[in-house]
A and B are shown apart, each in its own frame.
Chain A
């Protein structure tokens, strides 16, 4: 597959990813659509092109690890796992239901493909650091990918984890920052400005890249660039994103952080998503 074909393929998958996430949140009438949609494009690129994983062997020891530090956007992770056939697709209709493997926040004990349970913000990156240290010590080639939110970066532990990633020269760690500038109560700028995150990660000793987190070409390019860069420096991709991206009435609207669409909203959202990103 050449780059053009790959990008076209991933754009198609991103539509399926968005539809699946919205469907499960609508069915559950609970969940977090805004951040699921802002993370949709690079999650698609990771799961359908980058991660070295085997759905038929979720615990394959040499697999790449994925840590969703902003655990509340798990519908987009569950979408990837459903589409990759880690579990039957129909499972998506059980999100947040009693006994479901699709808990409100990821539970590694019950959901195949979830490498660590997350949900309390600021903690996932530390676990990713632990995994990346284990890979280095065991002389294994697998990489660890971790998605953190910009609002989540207000947690001090994120910076503790970054310091340790730099100290232990974790060039097998890739941190995605979903830089959508919205959080639960308001915009990040109002609640607690996170400033220029790319500069901050750079200042901590990481190699940070800034991209448009919805341009599949840019996502593919940056992943290509860092894949073979074994220079002892952790990589950070700060993706400028739009919360609710792909659904006009959700885009950049704080309310859609954690509210499920009703029947009419859901129908409109699906029809808009089917058209792909404009």
Chain B
């Protein structure tokens, strides 16, 4: 994988980064700008609704400028039952799953990246194969299995399952980032008598911190938005994360509270938006990989 040699060249919509076009190629707005702005406007309408409706005391289904902008919708949802507990559950569920995934991925990537063995290639191919499996399709057997061993509605079990569902992709990405770390530096550590774990922790990891950040944020965003897994595996209302409580929101509050629905949607989406802003220009490095990865 060649994510590494050059700085990642990719779309950088969030933060200032390397220019997408060669500087000086086109100064004045051309037809491309016009077409792009039309597409952008179309994409923006549904987003505009959620932002405007959240500040509108009388929000309806159609996008409209709030006649009297208010924070009432936020005030109405900012309480333990509606926002704080589901958000905290999301933090526990998705944070826990991400932690497990990243730790396991870094550990697993090390031997895969560093040692040539007859088993490593088939193993890696199996991982790539698993990356493609539709997790949706195994939710029913997982539910049936969890019923058998009494793990339905268990937060730790949901965390481990969510972590596993993200693991193949995480191992795949991490291995690629690790391949980029020159092995020579480790050889020095080896000669000094450092153990495998010591080398991984104090030599390899510091050198691939940006890569680990990409994997962590990708995993966190993916699990934060996941609806089906907690929807199936968690039952008690007190344990439900924001993804599921948002779904039950409209039935709890009746169909009319669109402003509050919008406000809660914004609160729930805010963490992932912030994370992507943090990722900024590194976002693309995960995609250079997708285009033509070496298994």
Do the two shown chains form a genuine complex with each other? no
Binding site for A on B (CB under 8 A): none
Binding site for B on A (CB under 8 A): none
